[in-house]
Structure 1
Amino acid sequence: MQCHRDQDALIPKPRGTLPKKCAAVLVAITVVCIMFLSPEWSFERVAMVILSLTLGPLLHGLCLLAEEMLYHSNTRYQGRGLLSHVVPACGLEIKTLLTAGMAGLLLYLDEQPLNNQGEGWKDLILASALHALFKSLGFLGPSEVEVSDICEGRKMNVAHGLAWSFYLGYLQLVLPRLENSIASFQSSHQLNGSSWGRGSKKLLILIPLNANISHKLEDEDNNIHFYDNLPNSEIDRAGVRGRVYKHSVYRVVGEDGKARECVVEYATPLLTLYKMSQESSAGFGEPERRQQVLIFFRTLQNILEQSLECRNRYTLILLNDERQDDPHFLSKAILTHLQQQEKEEFCVTPPPKPDMVNPLANTSSVQPSVFRVNGRWQQPEPLSREPTIMISLEKPLPLKEPVENSEH
């Protein structure tokens, strides 16, 4: 499982709820310390702080609402309802309004008014107005971590769209046909099973971290040689009759000199990420590109794991660009995944060892059971054989009718 561990060490995991837990612990510690240091502390101060924290975002939401209603209500919202779409989009959510209302109600019901109440309300209004100003100017904007968390949580990254497009527009169409194409290719080229193992009957999808894709694999590694193309798959797609989809077969030579055939190709959406990082108008640098490649890999992996049409028909190979000093890194990575599939996915039950004999075979009191079939004596088949499906040739019998057996 070395390959999977290397990939898991590179792929970023979804962000969790640790910031919320830390914030809750921080608030609890702060409240305990204030109650210990200030016995005269009251819940009215908490209500004032909550109101100041919620009133500022509400005022900023009203500023956003003025812009949306005057200039964007028709173009961005197509005349949809004010309360159902425009108001929530400006941050005027129900939970914020309820929090501010509860804080105001707590202040109204408190029997002990806040000292210097007039000064307190002035500070509250001034802080809320300044919050709206600083928020509009971008001084209190979300951090890069918050923006990344929002984009990943709402599937708004470039990588999310590219992964879904790659799956819906390509993999979902070609992977169900891949097994028949490989079988037809083997029969036409008379390939034996030694060079074309069961692990090679999948589409190997290469995903380099630097998104720099070569159009010919032999240019990257001279141990990889183009062999032939699989039979074309023609699918009617988007008004094009018989659109052609094809895959290429390569021969990968290992360090032992043995060659293995496999169907391998790069993930073509990575070309888009690489080209975007080369365009200054895209605002897409190298660090952002690397992060998007990792998100693309994770998103595509999650999509394919949930797809019944594509299950067990693909292998995603994440290539670390930090190890490109080896001229045969690509061929080694491909062969490692092929060998790993052979060992882990298909050799589930190891073959019986020759020294494992029945301890009762040499005893004189126990003899192997035999039976007579068509005039010949035969021994039963070993219990370790592969399970088979037994089909009965007898006609199904009807269900019995219920019989009344109660006594009155």
Structure 2
Amino acid sequence: MSLGEGLAYNYYAGYLNLVLPSVADRISSSEYDKSTTNKKLFILIPANGEMPGKQQDVDKSIRQVGTLAPLMIDRAGFKRKYHNNVYGSVHNEKEVTFVADMPADLLTLRDMTEDFELTGFTEQDKLREVQKYAASLTKILERQSHLAGTYEIVVYNGNSVLKFSV
């Protein structure tokens, strides 16, 4: 198993497997119910592996408008809160909202390239592992029939992520 595949499994097991089953219900019971046509989590993966601090840093047409009610889960003896941000944008002259996440574990790949002297991990290694990450995450999630329709993986290039169906 490669680094990208392992990070993808970690994201699935430690986050998506917990959050995805409740996303549609949490959207439906929120103030964003009417303006969110796709009640799923958009998983945004930058093809270059560069993770911005905010969605707005990727696509200027996106802005954070709120959060869903947190999901509380007992994990390893602690109650943990899982938050999901709600974003807004104008799409076909209409304000739409959507729930999105960028896998923070991809920061590991970026950090490894920045710490080349310690890791020997190159920019090419990072790009290759991001591709493996996206392919592995897709494969993992496609095998989870109970999660069908709860997510959409969006691998994007450049500075526009709104090429997906919000």
> TM-score when scaled to structure 2?
0.92
Shift of 1:190: 6.7
Q: Secondary structure at the match of 1:295?
A: helix
Q: 1:191 to 1:308 in 2, by over 3 A?
A: closer
Counterpart for residue 259 of structure 1 = 95
Report matched runs for 1:305-320 at 5 Å: 305-320=142-157
Counterpart for residue 36 of structure 2 = 196
Query: Root-mean-square deviation (CA), in Å?
Result: 1.5
Native 8 Å contact 2:142 2:148 kept in 1: yes
Q: Deviations over 1:181-221 (max 9, x none)?
A: 11111xxx2753xx321xx2110001111111112112332
1:218 partner letter: Q
2:154 partner letter: I
Instruction: Report how many residues are paired.
Output: 165
Counterpart for residue 74 of structure 2 = 236
Report matched runs for 1:173-322 at 5 Å: 173-185=18-30, 189=31, 191-192=33-34, 195-197=35-37, 200-240=38-78, 242-254=79-91, 256-280=92-116, 281-320=118-157
Q: Secondary structure at the match of 2:149?
A: coil
Rg comparison, structure with higher value: 1
Native 8 Å contact 2:42 2:154 kept in 1: yes
Consecutive unaligned residues of structure 1, counting only runs of 5 or more, are 1-154, 340-408
Q: Secondary structure at the match of 1:309?
A: helix
1:158 partner letter: L
Native 8 Å contact 1:207 1:316 kept in 2: yes
Native 8 Å contact 2:48 2:127 kept in 1: yes
Alpha-carbon distance in structure 1 between the residues aligned to 2:52 and 2:60: 13
Native 8 Å contact 1:171 1:310 kept in 2: no
Alpha-carbon distance in structure 2 between the residues aligned to 1:293 and 1:266: 13
Q: 1:273 to 1:190 in 2, by over 3 A?
A: closer
Hey, which bits of structure 1, 4+ residues long, moved more than 6 A?
A: none
Q: Higher strand share goes to which structure?
A: 2
Q: 1:257 to 1:244 in 2, by over 3 A?
A: same
Q: 1:191 to 1:239 in 2, by over 3 A?
A: closer
1:338 partner letter: S
Higher RCO structure, 1 or 2 (CA under 8 Å, sep 6+): 2
Q: Higher helix share goes to which structure?
A: 1
Alpha-carbon distance in structure 2 between the residues aligned to 1:306 and 1:191: 28
Counterpart for residue 164 of structure 1 = 9
Native 8 Å contact 1:224 1:251 kept in 2: yes
Shift of 1:308: 2.6
Alpha-carbon distance in structure 2 between the residues aligned to 1:252 and 1:265: 15
Q: 1:259 to 1:306 in 2, by over 3 A?
A: same
Q: Does 1:338 align with 2:161?
A: no
Q: Deviations over 1:299-357 (max 9, x none)?
A: 1100000013322111000112xxx2xx6x223x2xxx216xxxxxxxxxxxxxxxxxx
Q: Percent same amino acid among aligned pairs?
A: 33
